[in-house]
Amino acid sequence: MTEAVENVDILIVGAGPVGMTLHLALAAGGQQSLLVDRRPPAALQADPRALALSHGARELLEQLGGWPTRAATPIETIHVSQKGGFGRTLIDRSDYKLPALGYVVRYRDLAAALAARLADDARLTEAEIIDITADSDGATVALRHAGKLRRIRCRLLVHAEGTPGDEAGVTVSDYVQHAVICEVTPTPGNARRAWERFTPDGPLALLPLGDEYSIVFTLPPAKADAVMALDDDAFVAALSAQFGRSMRFAKPGKRSRFPLALRLRDQLHRGREVWIGNTAQTLHPVSGQGFNLGLRDAWQLADQLLKDGVAGIDLAAYAASRRLDREGGAFFTDKVVKAFSNDCAPLRLARGLGLLALDVFPPARHFVAKRMIWGARAWP
Ligand SMILES: Cc1cc2nc3c(=O)[nH]c(=O)nc-3n(C[C@H](O)[C@H](O)[C@H](O)COP(=O)(O)OP(=O)(O)OC[C@H]3O[C@@H](n4cnc5c(N)ncnc54)[C@H](O)[C@@H]3O)c2cc1C
C-alpha cells in the first residue's frame, strides 16, 4: 500500500541550533516549517561543547526569544598571545561601548533555550530519512518515524545536518589537530577574560563560563590521545604547561575530543535544496566563528524567504549574499591556524610583531574586534 503524501512548505533536516534558529525566525514572520532530526531531543543535552557567541549573535537570538540569559557568561576582555614568543594583544569591551565583547554558553543551554520556543508539532525527532527525491518544484522526503513510513512533500528543502563527512561537493582540508575540551576551575577566578594562546601544537582557548573556564586544548592527534588518557592531576599539569602563565586549575570535568578540518560545501544550493550552518561550512573552532556564522546563514535565509516567499526565493541570490561572510570566516580561521600552529623562528617573530601591531595600532585591533563582535557586518 502506498502511504499518503503530507505537504509542507519548508522542510528543515537537522534540528540543531542552526535548524531551530531558522524555524523560529520563519515562525516569527508567520511562515511555517517542519524540523526533522534523526536523534532524540536529549541528544542535544549531551553535547559537551561550550560556544563563544558574538554580541551580534545575542541580538539575533534575543529577537527570537532564544537567548539563554542566565546561562550566558559575558566576555569583557580577550587576551591573545603566543607561547614561546613575544607580543600580545588585549581587546577590551570598554573600547566598543558594549556590555560585553561576546558571551560563552554551553551548547546544551543554547539548544534548550531554542527548543523551549518550539511548538509541540514543530519537529519530528528520531526520524530516519530513507530517501530524498528532488525535482524542479521541491522535494519528496521518505522517512521512518515512530515505526511508520511517511512521505513528506516540500517546496523547499533546507539541509542543516551539521558537519558533513567526506562526500562529493565538500572540499576538506584536514588540520591534523584534535580539540580536547573540558571545564576546569581556575584560581584566581576568570574575571570574565577569554584567553587565546597560540602554541606550536595548535591554539589553546580558555573561555569564561560561570566560575569555570571552558578549555579548547588543540593538539596533534597522537598528543590528543595521550592527553585524553592522563589522570586529572596530570591533565591539569599538561594544561598549565601549555598555558604557561600563573594560573592554577583544579577539578577538571569530563574530557571530550573533536577532530578538526575545514569543510566547505562547493555549492550552497541545488534546485530547491539549500545548505546552511555546519553542513555548509565547518571551520576550525579558533576564535569561535562556527555557530555565529551558521546563525547568520539561518537569519539571512529566513529574511529572504519572508520577503520573497517560498516560491519566489532566488537561492542563487541567497548563496551570493552569504559568500563574503562564509569565505571571510573560513579564510580568517584557516590562515590564523596555519600561521600560528608551528615553531618556525621567523614566523614566531612575524607573529609577535603582528600581535604587537594589533596592540599599539587601534584601527587594526578594532578591525579584528569588530569582526568578532558583528561578523560580516564589520567587513569594509
Ligand atoms: C570543539 C569545538 C568548539 C566550538 N566552539 C565554537 C564557538 O566557540 N563558537 C561558535 O560559534 N562555534 C563553535 N563551534 C562550532 C559549533 O559547534 C557549530 O558551528 C554548531 O554546532 C553548528 O550547528 P548546526 O546546527 O549547524 O549543527 P549541529 O549542531 O551539528 O546540529 C546538526 C543536527 O542535525 C541532525 N542530523 C544530522 N544528520 C541528520 C540526518 N541525516 N537526518 C536528520 N537529522 C540529522 C543532528 O542530529 C543534529 O541535531 C565549535 C565546534 C567545536 C567542534
Residue % of the chain over a pLDDT of 70: 97
Q: What's the pLDDT at 181?
A: 98
Q: What's the pLDDT at 2?
A: 56
- Nearest Cα to Cα of residue 376 among 341, 327, 334: 327
How far apart (Å, rounded) are the C-alpha atoms in residues 179 and 258?
Answer: 5
Indicate the range of 8-22, 103-117, 281-295 predicted with least confidence: 281-295
- Tell the CATH topology of 5-74+101-168+261-344: FAD/NAD(P)-binding domain (3.50.50)
Query: What is the residue extent of each domain of the chain?
Result: 5-74+101-168+261-344
SS3 284: coil
Q: Which atom of ligand 1 is nearest to the CA of 260?
A: 53
pLDDT tens-digit profile of 55-96?
A: 889 999 999 999 999 999 999 999 998 887 778 889 999 888
Q: What's the pLDDT at 345?
A: 76
- Nearest Cα to Cα of residue 245 among 16, 88, 44: 88
Average pLDDT, the chain: 92
| Cα–Cα–Cα angle for 357, 380, 304, rounded to 5 degrees | 140
How far apart (Å, rounded) are the C-alpha atoms in residues 105 and 326?
Answer: 22
The answer to whether residue 33 scores a pLDDT higher than 90 is: yes
Q: Which atom of ligand 1 is nearest to the CA of 179?
A: 1
> Helix %, strand %, coil % for the chain, to 5?
40, 35, 30
Q: What's the pLDDT at 352?
A: 74
Q: What's the pLDDT at 374?
A: 66
Q: Which of 114, 123, 161 to mutate to test the pocket of ligand 1 (most atoms within 8 A of CB)?
A: 161
How far apart (Å, rounded) are the C-alpha atoms in residues 127 and 39?
Answer: 7
Task: Band the pLDDT of 380: cuts 50, 70, 90.
Answer: very low
| Cα–Cα–Cα angle for 126, 70, 99, rounded to 5 degrees | 125
Q: Which of 51, 75, 124, 273 to mutate to test the pocket of ligand 1 (most atoms within 8 A of CB)?
A: 51
Q: What's the pLDDT at 336?
A: 82
Task: Band the pLDDT of 379: cuts 50, 70, 90.
Answer: very low
pLDDT tens-digit profile of 261-291?
A: 999 999 999 999 999 999 999 999 998 889 9
- What cell does 240 get? 598549565
The answer to whether residue 377 scores a pLDDT higher than 60 is: no
The answer to whether residue 203 scores a pLDDT higher than 60 is: yes
Q: What's the pLDDT at 376?
A: 55
Q: Residue 202 forms beta bridges with which residues? A: 199
Task: Band the pLDDT of 4: cuts 50, 70, 90.
Answer: confident
Q: Which atom of ligand 1 is nearest to the CA of 276?
A: 26
Q: List ligand 1's pocket residues with C-beta within 6 A.
A: 13-19, 36-39, 49, 51-52, 129, 160-163, 179, 181, 216, 258, 277-278, 285, 288-292, 294
The answer to whether residue 146 scores a pLDDT higher than 70 is: yes
Task: Band the pLDDT of 375: cuts 50, 70, 90.
Answer: low
- Nearest Cα to Cα of residue 270 among 164, 172, 159, 154: 159
Distance 89 CA to ligand 1 centre (A): 30
DSSP state of 272: T
* Beta strand ranges found along the chain (DSSP E): 5-13, 34-36, 50-54, 73-75, 77-82, 88-92, 102-106, 123-124, 128-135, 138-145, 148-159, 170-187, 193-199, 202-209, 212-219, 248-250, 256-265, 269-270, 273-275, 281-282
Q: Which atom of ligand 1 is nearest to the CA of 278?
A: 26
Residue 2 vs residue 354, higher pLDDT: 354
